Chains A and B, each alone.
Chain A
């Protein structure tokens, strides 16, 4: 047996030390700032010292929940992100589903196309969308020419515009997560359903959809989180007209240097995300106990 000196560690001890290090790094860089933010959110803003730590107060949180401007921010963020997530799910589920049926080459090309929103600078694509979505832009011209609308839709500075740009920005994530989950469904389940008498629609509704619930949950949580914390594209499309938490947090912290209020709002944003994660998961569990 090897002798263990003071700096000689057995293999399992080494692993434990390495794990502890990893946890420490994680805590330092992730939890650290979060706790710091949480801590600061209970103090008052001071024009000179920025954070006045002489009094502990709840007034920042009170402001977020009572001031009409910030109330609207919370509500808008929630509505816009939920709508964008649902739309993204509805649009991307069929895409992800048909991707599973493609042969490898066609699939590689489709994947490249789907990934484009991720590969371009979001600032640039947001401005591109802005020009497409102006009252005289291509989208409005097209919609009016086929007669769906008679008046141009205003996208800039509206929730619809923000929702559209969010759906576009985070579609790749949704598609890829859904596709991974659909790829994992053994084709024998589909054959089993068909031979038991299920037509295409029944097979989809009773087998494919419930079996892809884990993917739907993961994709929705991911998309919702990214939507609600996304700042640049919503700002380009919504300006400061559409009040959104992420934009307001940016304003508090980077423009007004009001760390306490910004922190409080960021904590509220995080709580909304956690609440949503909980809601989505329990909905999925209730509907499809058993999962996959």
Chain B
């Protein structure tokens, strides 16, 4: 079942920001909206909440068009980057705010506040004012305030970016736990790929006002579809070549003098393509151990960073990066050493 659906959303300020965005979030799903700063993530959330009207397109919540519904009627939970806890109310006052508006009776409110405080593990701090809480505690209250009214969907706008690294890690685990417990459909906005990958059921990558790829964290990480995503998900090796031959299960791409065998068979002969492979999949050997996808290379630079060695290698005119796992028995090659680079054909994928 789909809880939130965005259909061909367009929005311009001085320039177009959203250019036909489509997204559907399944019920109880944890979906991340990942993209660089300024790509329109907050704008998208504002449109879902009703603070902004889209120039074109429809917003559905539980299959109902909500385009003309005021924000206070949309039944959405929202958590801000700066928490926005009401400073003139205690923690309890903040939590009870939405319940009072829904005319829940006093006894029930008392009970629900207590439950919420247990959920966020802040029992006993009900009568504090927000400024008397730490950043992480304020963050949890903000989350509880949004969840206590049992919204159809929970939206979080970079909720962890004001916290330090250690707290951020803890809060990621907390968020996961709380999501498991309440099972509210969640859209989580972030520009931090680690957050998106570690929290989500699915990740949607935003670029140029559209969703460029949507998939599970492993899909997004291992098979980014485009140059942009490959680059955004961390340094990758991207090389360009031309399709030399196409067979049933194997295509050969020529990159300069090198011939690369890949399993893809959907390409046309003669087409220019971008091939990507992850640097941790590159193997570096002294000897030539196989005949396919093995290339002569020279070490240009190496750096030992603990768990692995980072190499910059030159294959003819191409430069590639390799992260090679090492232990005390592994040989570490030095600048100028001649080596063989080996990749499996499955390690390559074609970017669009």
Residues of A that sit less than 8 Å from B by CB? 186, 188-189, 191-199, 202-203, 206-207, 210-211, 213, 288-292
Contacts and interface: CB of A to CB of B under 8 A. Distances in A.
7 contacts: A186-B84, A189-B86, A195-B78, A196-B97, A203-B72, A211-B88, A291-B87
Nearest to A186: B84
List the 8 closest A-B pairs by CB distance, nearest first.
A196-B98, A188-B84, A197-B101, A194-B71, A290-B88, A192-B84, A195-B78, A210-B88
Contact of A191 (B49, B89, B98, B101): B49
Contacts of B71: 191, 194-195
Given A191-B49, A192-B86, A197-B101, 19 more contacts: A189-B86, A191-B80, A193-B86, A193-B97, A194-B51, A194-B71, A194-B72, A195-B74, A195-B78, A196-B145, A196-B146, A197-B73, A198-B72, A198-B101, A199-B72, A202-B101, A211-B86, A211-B87, A291-B87
B82 to A, nearest CB: 6
A130 B271 CA distance: 88
B102 interface: yes
B49 A207 contact: no
A210 B94 CA distance: 14
A203 B70 CA distance: 13
Contact of B80 (A188, A198, A210, A288): A188
A196 B90 CA distance: 16
A38 B90 CA distance: 45
B129 interface: yes
Contact of A291 (B78, B88, B90, B97): B88
A211 B84 CA distance: 12
Contacts of B40: none
Interface in B60-100: 70-78, 80, 82, 84, 86-90, 97-98
A191 B78 CA distance: 9
A194 B72 CA distance: 5
Contacts of B146: 196
A290 B76 CA distance: 27
A198 B129 CA distance: 21
A290 B88 CA distance: 5
Nearest to B84: A188
B71 to A, nearest CB: 4
B313 interface: no
Contact of A197 (B51, B84, B88, B98): B98
Contacts of A196: 72, 97-98, 101, 145-146, 149
B309 to A, nearest CB: 47
B149 A197 contact: yes
Nearest to B46: A191
Contacts of A197: 72-73, 75, 98, 101-102, 149
A65 to B, nearest CB: 40
Given A191-B49, A193-B97, A199-B72, A186 B82 contact: yes
Given A192-B84, A194-B72, A202-B101, A290 B90 contact: yes
Contacts of B51: 191, 194
A192 B77 CA distance: 9
A292 B98 CA distance: 20
B76 A206 contact: no
Contacts of B102: 197
A193 B84 CA distance: 10
A207 B71 CA distance: 16
A199 to B, nearest CB: 5
A176 B4 CA distance: 43
A207 B85 CA distance: 11
B149 to A, nearest CB: 7
Interface string B133-163: 0000000000001100100000000000000
Contacts of B73: 197
Contacts of A189: 84, 86
Nearest to A185: B87
Contacts of A188: 80, 82, 84
B88 to A, nearest CB: 4
A290 B129 contact: yes
Contacts of A207: 86
Contacts of B70: 194, 199
B78 A192 contact: yes
Among B75, B90, B101, B145: residue with most chain A CB under 10 A: B101
A189 B51 CA distance: 13
Contacts of B129: 290
Nearest to B74: A195
Contacts of A199: 70, 72
Among A188, A207, A210, A292: residue with most chain B CB under 10 A: A188
A206 B49 CA distance: 20
Among A197, A199, A213, A290: residue with most chain B CB under 10 A: A197
Contact of A290 (B74, B75, B87, B98): B87
Contacts of B90: 290
Interface in B98-138: 98, 101-102, 129
B82 A206 contact: no
B84 A191 contact: yes
